[in-house]
Amino acid sequence: MKLNETLLNIMDNQDLENEQEAMDDHMMSALDTPLRSDAFDLTDQEKISIIEGHFKEIMHTLGLDLTDDSLKGTPRRVAKMYVKEIFHGLNPENKPDIRRFENKYKYHRMLVERDITLYSSCEHHFVPIIGKAHVAYIPGEHVIGLSKLNRIVQYYARRPQVQERMTMQIANELKQALQTEDVAVLIEADHLCVMSRGVNDVTSSTITAEYSGLFQEDQYRNEFLSHLRKK
């Protein structure tokens, strides 16, 4: 009887895991990245030290020899990479300072910045999302420096993400920075959680887009997309 109960429990747990995995593929929570209220109580150095200890335990549990010259520095390297690089965009102190300039040129046609290299991390498996972001806006009274478009993309990419949320976060930040609703963002990316595990599909890619203001009209949206096709 106990054996049957154990088998049933195992099967139930497997069903729950399969259900959760199916949900993970498309699940998106609120637009803001989920953060605790005490997310920034610790300094970066304190976070690095704690993560180093935890990652050392992960490697030890996997059976790796942490006395080996090649491995002994890995926990520290991973911890620094997480805090200072891969998840750099979690800390609002790292948010780019966006300065608006008066649109003295009176340029009111579409401005497109395409093929912005994007590195992010899937928040369900913590493996890379690699792709390109294409952004556009129609200037009103203000413009911003071209490099700031790239920096906004990188800021929201450098955190655990789902692509849908990231697309909308970038679009919202651009609207706020530029003080205009006439913004478009399109992201095309490869997800290593699809390519290197699970279904192991190396040929598919994911495209998400957010159009607001004039870009909701066919004329402007089609012009934006036509610029992306000109490689």
Of these residues, 124, 142, 164, 188, which one is catalytic? Answer: 124
Phi-psi region of 133 (alpha: psi -120 to 50; beta: other; left: phi over 0): beta
Verify whether residue 163 is a known catalytic residue. yes
Nearest CA among 166, 149, 177, 161 for reference residue 209: 166
The verdict on whether 125 is a catalytic residue reads: yes
Q: Is 164 a residue of the active site?
A: no
Would you call 26 a catalytic residue per the annotation?
Answer: no
Catalytic residue list contains 20: no
Helix then strand then coil, in percent of the chain rounded to 5, is 45, 20, 35
Token pair 């995995």: residue: 21
Instruction: Check 161, 163, 169, 210 and give the catalytic one.
Output: 163
Which one of the listed residues 88, 113, 125, 142 is annotated catalytic?
125
Would you say 78 and 49 are in contact if contact means Cβ atoms under 8 Å apart?
Answer: no
Annotated catalytic residue within 52, 161, 191, 210: 191
Mark whether 14 is an active-site residue: no
The single residue of 123, 134, 173, 210 carrying the catalytic annotation is: 123
- The whole-angstrom separation of Cα 99 and Cα 82 is 28
Please say if 193 is a catalytic residue: yes
Query: Which of the residues 122, 134, 154, 210 is marked catalytic?
Result: 122
**Which entry of 134, 154, 193, 210 is annotated as an active-site residue?**
193
**Which sequence positions are flagged as catalytic?**
122-125, 163, 191, 193
